[in-house]
């Protein structure tokens, strides 16, 4: 799924680059949940087309969290560990 253009443009902006860098440095480059090497700055309150221009949400350091890929995927419930595939490629639900 593609991000709306206004959100895509925000993530390409210099304002986001600065806010992101501040969060990474504040976290010393480590995931704020598990302590592994961090990779992604996560918005605790999800960024939407309605709030992307609201600095209290989009760049507020209190709304940002530096996460490793695993913790970020868990936060967004991606690649659920409860779903596996058998040798035929069919999904197995646990």
Domain boundaries, the chain: 5-93
Q: 33-69 b/e with 16+ CB inside 10 Å = b?
A: beeeebebbbbeeebeeebbeeeebbbeeebbbbbbe
pLDDT digit string, tens, across residues 46-80: 999 999 999 999 999 999 999 999 999 988 877 65
Mean of per-residue pLDDT scores for the chain: 89
Residue 2 is predicted with a pLDDT of 75
């Amino acid at each position: 799924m593609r991000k709306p253009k206004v959100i895509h443009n925000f993530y390409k902006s210099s304002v986001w680059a600065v806010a992101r860098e501040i969060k990474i440095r504040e976290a010393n480059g480590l995931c704020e949940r598990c302590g592994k090497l961090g990779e992604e700055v996560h918005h605790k309150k999800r960024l939407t087309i309605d709030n992307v221009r609201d600095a209290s949400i989009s760049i507020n350091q209190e709304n940002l969290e530096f996460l490793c890929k695993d913790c970020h995927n868990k936060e967004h419930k991606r690649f659920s560990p409860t779903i596996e595939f058998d040798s035929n490629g069919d999904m197995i639900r646990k």
